[in-house]
């Protein structure tokens, strides 16, 4: 697999529970906590693509998922563990029978396995969620940390998280951390699970933990953004002695999200006097590419004014600002666009370009493709160049993202047509093939997209017994101009789905024809739902329940 090699954080001279002097370890949880953002589900192939981007970023740890939550998550964690090198691969597990065993099984093959076990320690969680006493929680913590140490050996990283630590009685919290370190934990994590803390108090709490167990374990923090303070709390923790930070690309995560990788990393780099002698090893020039990939695959658009990676982060509209930046960029820019991967392009892609030219352009954008993957993007790029004036950087990145999110076409779209007139209803016709059966259907609707979606429903339901139900639909231009590509995003569930809430699938479509991109997105979502239904049918009811994540817990 291509990508920058990471610096070892387990084993070697530093060993488990140690971080190189001057190092802040970056623990990326985009694929686990980030994916818990409602609607942000990723396929195994998409998770692998994000993992490759994280390797290029040179993060220290990739938390690949929660193996006990579903067979799909187990497969994703196991494949990432097998296929990534130069980075530790972590798996999350609750402190309860079954979870740690499944996690160990998934990551045992990793170059550097990192088991992450957690249990809630705040009284409100113990009483209302777990229904157990403090002593029972303490015993479970020690039991499963000790299990992890025995199962993975002395050189593995064993991390323990006290869920809702910021609302836990401090003396009990310190007691738990001391006990798990004695049992073999090499990292202790302090989660601000509900984003309740403010920097001054959180820094003070972290300082107490560092004083108590910092000589025996790495102290880590995991901050949520419910009050908009996740990055601030994380930086306060680093100043107080934390040497691992748990972050996500674009700040993705449950509710208001997590501490943002790009904000924390660039704060350390931009304000060295506030963090004397401390730095991460992240290749910051890869930040923008990782941000775009995660945004595309999850369907979560980065807000324009988002720090570091937003579209306006390096845009200047005011005349005063423009004048200052022209004279000296430092007047209004505290970091350069190039430092986060916004270097200007030098190659243009058109219909006469060759594969080598496209490959070089993609490398400028931080994407390294070869073989069939390059050929697939090349075919799409040349076809696009025939239909629009200019193929921009954004167009190319959208094509790369589209290829990464392709799914098997168990439901194949053979053809379509639609008619629409002013003041009247639209009529759409589609031809679908599922296995050996092909059906054509015609339907009317309130507009061309609605008509085609109804036609897909009518063609599909007699074959598979269900049709997609549209929950969300978005369309946006990839670039400016009348010939821009339209990127369509849909979220759907099956009409036969009786679960509450129903399992949803995301579909993307990309075309200069917004009707075509909308139809592609709908059929892609249908394919994901179809694959899940087939897996459930093959695995039986128990596997179906597991595949839907019925047993999934939630991270600290």
Residue-wise pLDDT for 44-60, tens only, equals 999 999 999 999 999 99
- 501 in a structural domain: yes
- 135 in a structural domain: yes
Across 320-328, average pLDDT? 54
pLDDT over threshold 70, residue 467? yes
- 83 in a structural domain: yes
CATH for 70? 3.20.20.70
**Choice among 13-22, 120-129, 153-162, 428-437 with the minimum mean pLDDT:** 13-22
Q: For position 508, what pLDDT does the model report?
A: 84
Domain region containing 510 = 411-547
How far is residue 66 from each of residues 36, 85, 117, 118, 352, measured CA to CA in Å?
Answer: 10, 20, 10, 12, 46
Answer with the one of 246, 267, 282 that is the final residue of a domain.
282
**Choice among 181-195, 387-401, 456-470 with the minimum mean pLDDT:** 387-401
Does 373 lie in the same domain as 430? no
Does 60 lie in the same domain as 90? yes
pLDDT over threshold 60, residue 12? no
Q: For position 543, what pLDDT does the model report?
A: 46
Q: Which residues pair with 304 in a beta bridge?
A: none
Answer with the one of 255, 282, 309 that is the final residue of a domain.
282
User: Which pairing describes strands 88-94 and 426-434: parallel, antiparallel, or unpaired?
Assistant: unpaired
What DSSP character marks residue 349?
B
Tell me the pTM: 0.75
Peptide bond into 501 cis (omega under 30): yes
pLDDT band at 544 (very low <50, low <70, confident <90, very high): very low
pLDDT > 70: what percent of the chain? 85
Distance CA 141, CA 147 (A): 10
Distance CA 447, CA 419 (A): 9
Q: How many structural domains does the chain have?
A: 3
What DSSP character marks residue 385?
H
pLDDT band at 322 (very low <50, low <70, confident <90, very high): very low
Does 374 lie in the same domain as 465? no
CATH for 516? 3.30.160.270
CA atoms within 13 Å, Cβ hemisphere of 112: 20
Does 120 lie in the same domain as 176? yes
Look at residues 381, 377, 421 and name the one whose alpha carbon lies nearest to residue 403. 377
Angle at CA of residue 87, ends 11 and 66, nearest 5°: 105
Does 171 lie in the same domain as 111? yes
Q: For position 482, what pLDDT does the model report?
A: 67
Does 376 lie in the same domain as 235? no
* 278 contact partners, CB below 8 Å, separation of at least 6: 22, 23, 24, 238, 268, 272
How far is residue 417 from each of residues 412, 456, 519, measured CA to CA in Å?
Answer: 15, 12, 11
Distance CA 270, CA 339 (A): 10
Does 437 lie in the same domain as 367? no
Does 465 lie in the same domain as 373? no
- 184 in a structural domain: yes
Answer with the one of 266, 282, 298 that is the final residue of a domain.
282
Residue-wise pLDDT for 196-210, tens only, equals 999 999 999 999 999
- 342 in a structural domain: no
pLDDT band at 422 (very low <50, low <70, confident <90, very high): confident
Does 201 lie in the same domain as 64? yes
- 292 in a structural domain: no
Residue-wise pLDDT for 486-543, tens only, equals 888 899 999 987 777 787 888 888 888 899 999 989 998 998 888 888 877 776 554 4
Does 438 lie in the same domain as 382? no
- 172 in a structural domain: yes
Does 169 lie in the same domain as 99? yes
What DSSP character marks residue 87?
S
pLDDT over threshold 80, residue 15? no
- 305 in a structural domain: no
Reduced to 3 states, what is the DSSP secondary structure of residue 162? strand
Q: Output 343 or 82, whichever has higher pLDDT.
A: 82
Does 441 lie in the same domain as 521? yes
Distance CA 530, CA 527 (A): 5
Look at residues 513, 484, 318 and name the one whose alpha carbon lies nearest to residue 398. 484
């Amino acid at each position: 697999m291509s990508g920058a090699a990471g610096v070892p954080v387990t084993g070697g001279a530093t060993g488990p529970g140690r971080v190189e002097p001057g190092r802040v370890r970056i623990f990326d949880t985009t694929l686990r906590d980030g994916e818990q953002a409602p609607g942000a589900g990723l396929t195994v192939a998409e998770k692998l693509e994000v993992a490759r981007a994280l390797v290029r970023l040179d993060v220290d740890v990739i938390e690949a998922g929660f193996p006990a939550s579903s067979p799909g998550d187990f497969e994703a964690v196991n494949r990432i563990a097998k296929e990534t090198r130069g980075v530790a691969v972590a798996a999350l597990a609750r402190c309860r029978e079954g979870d740690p065993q499944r996690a160990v099984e998934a990551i045992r093959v990793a170059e550097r396995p990192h088991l992450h076990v957690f249990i809630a320690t705040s009284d409100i969680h113990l009483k209302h969620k777990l229904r157990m006493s403090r002593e029972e929680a303490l015993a479970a913590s020690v039991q499963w940390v000790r299990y992890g140490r025995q199962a993975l050996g002395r050189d593995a990283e064993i991390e323990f998280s006290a869920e809702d630590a910021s609302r836990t009685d401090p003396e009990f919290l310190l007691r738990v951390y001391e006990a798990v370190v004695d049992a073999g934990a090499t990292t202790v994590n302090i989660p601000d699970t509900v984003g309740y803390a403010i920097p001054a108090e959180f820094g003070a709490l972290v300082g107490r933990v560092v004083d108590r167990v910092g000589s025996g374990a790495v102290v880590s923090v995991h901050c949520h953004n419910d009050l908009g303070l996740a990055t601030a709390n994380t930086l306060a923790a680093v100043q107080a002695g934390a040497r691992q930070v748990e972050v996500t690309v674009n700040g993705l995560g449950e509710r208001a999200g997590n501490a943002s990788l790009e904000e924390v990393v660039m704060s350390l780099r931009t304000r060295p006097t506030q963090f004397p002698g401390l730095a991460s090893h992240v290749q910051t020039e890869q930040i923008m590419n990782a941000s775009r990939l995660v945004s595309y695959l999850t369907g979560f658009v980065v807000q324009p004014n988002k720090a570091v990676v937003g579209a306006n982060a390096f845009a200047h509209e005011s005349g005063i600002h423009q004048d200052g930046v022209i004279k000296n960029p430092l007047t209004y820019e505290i970091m350069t666009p190039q430092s986060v991967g916004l270097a200007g392009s030098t190659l243009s892609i058109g219909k006469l370009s060759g594969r080598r030219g496209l490959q070089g352009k993609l490398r400028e954008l931080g994407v390294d493709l070869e073989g069939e993957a390059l050929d697939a993007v090349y075919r799409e790029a040349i076809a696009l160049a025939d239909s629009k004036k200019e193929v921009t950087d954004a167009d190319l990145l959208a094509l790369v993202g589209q290829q990464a999110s392709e799914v098997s076409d168990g439901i194949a779209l053979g053809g379509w047509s639609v008619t629409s007139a002013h003041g009247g209803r639209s009529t759409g016709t589609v031809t679908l093939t599922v296995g050996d059966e092909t059906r054509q259907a015609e339907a009317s609707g309130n507009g061309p997209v609605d008509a085609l979606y109804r036609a897909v429903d009518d063609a599909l339901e007699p074959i598979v017994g269900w049709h997609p139900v549209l929950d969300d639909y978005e369309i946006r231009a990839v670039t400016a101009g009348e010939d821009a590509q339209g990127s369509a995003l849909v979220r759907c569930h099956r009409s036969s789905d009786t679960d509450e809430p129903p399992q949803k699938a995301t579909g993307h479509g990309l075309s200069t024809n917004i009707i075509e991109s909308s139809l592609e997105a709908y059929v892609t979502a249908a394919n994901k739902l179809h694959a899940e239904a087939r897996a459930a049918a093959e695995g039986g009811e128990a596997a179906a329940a597991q595949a839907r994540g019925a047993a999934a817990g939630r991270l600290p």
